[in-house]
Chain A
Amino acid sequence: MRYYIEKDDESDVLLFTTSEDEPSNYILKMTEDEVYDKYSNHIKYIECCYLDENNKLQIDLVKVLANRLDYLEHMSNSKIKQLRKMLGEASAIGRSDIVEEIVEIIKEIKLFLTADFSSLKSVDDLNNLICPELNIDYEVMYSEKLYGI
């Protein structure tokens, strides 16, 4: 099996493909090592790639940042939804201490998304951009805190 970056004839979009036969419109042929090392970020963010004036594959960092922020926003919304559900439950059983804690976490998640990330200048940094509140499973944590289960 060989690995290729192709350009779609109709849309000009770049695509990562695997194929036994050499595609007619490929712009880059990669070894397996290159797929997992040199070009791993290009493949991960293929929709953010373009060909420069020398026909070399490049990554548009602004697009990667936008892509990453979309992902983080989606993740944040999902966590906030989880937290709001637990907020209702904590309020219903009169745990004002936990209500306060959850409100602070929601504020922190929202604050994170408003930060200025324009100083990040590498794909690796953008890959690692996150805030600690997004890595917690709140249903598990608050089920234990509220109901001991």
Chain B
Amino acid sequence: MRSCIVKSYTEYDICDIGVPKPVKTQELEEALKPFACKEVYDKYIRDIDIRSGNKVSPYDIKASNSISAKIPDSDLIRLFPILKKAFPGLQFRISGQFIYGPGDGISEHTNANDPTNVIYITYATGKSKFSYRFSPNNDFIDTYDNINGLTLRSFVASSNEPFTHHKVECESGYRVSIGLRYVQL
């Protein structure tokens, strides 16, 4: 008898461009999971960038406030073969290599200076979310992370309005998040 475990993941298609479908999901999950813990988070340099305090402009191209740890390139590079196997139809570069700890996050921004399709692959162990809106006049739409599993989000970083205004908040646990700016072949 053959038994088969189907690993699930959560996906959010934020701009209706479709979420690239991963293959080898389990391998991807197993590769990201070890980063989502206190030991690894504490090992890396914590990147604290608070430039605006509470005065955040929704039109910030780059976030003016962010707290996270950055996965160094020497460790990130080991993920490349796994990411390529998981998304064989994509050509990509890395645009995010973050681990958020409890209370960490990144304030609202648009990435309007780097227009392209984006997919974020996230593994979280606690309560954390990615929120977005297409106009500062609207409320944020919250998308919560799968706990102890993968979450995929795709969106367009547009250089024109409507921008995809987005932010991340990690309330508890650890959240590893790898951003790919991609083109689909």
Contact = CB atoms under 8 A, between A and B. Distances in A.
Interface stretch (B39-47, B62-70, B91-99, B122-130): B91-99
B91, B92, B115, B117, most chain A CB atoms within 10 A: B91
B74 A132 contact: no
Interface residues of B, number: 20
A32 B73 CA distance: 39
B92 A132 contact: yes
Contact of B91 (A105, A131, A137): A131
B185 interface: yes
Interface in B71-93: 72-74, 77, 80-81, 83, 91-93
Given A133-B80, A134-B93, A136-B73, A128 B183 contact: yes
Contact of A141 (B73, B80, B117, B185): B73
A145 interface: yes
A144 B94 CA distance: 21
B182 interface: yes
B153 interface: no
Chain A interface SS verdict (over half): helix
Contacts of B159: 37
A112 B93 CA distance: 12
B116 interface: yes
Contacts of A116: 185
B182 A136 contact: no
Contacts of B185: 115-117, 119-120
A115 B117 CA distance: 20
A141 B74 contact: yes
Contacts of B92: 130-132
A37 B159 CA distance: 9
29 contacts: A37-B159, A104-B81, A108-B81, A115-B91, A115-B185, A116-B185, A117-B91, A117-B185, A119-B185, A120-B183, A120-B185, A125-B183, A128-B93, A128-B116, A128-B181, A128-B182, A128-B183, A129-B183, A130-B91, A130-B92, A130-B93, A131-B91, A131-B92, A131-B93, A132-B83, A132-B92, A132-B93, A135-B93, A136-B77
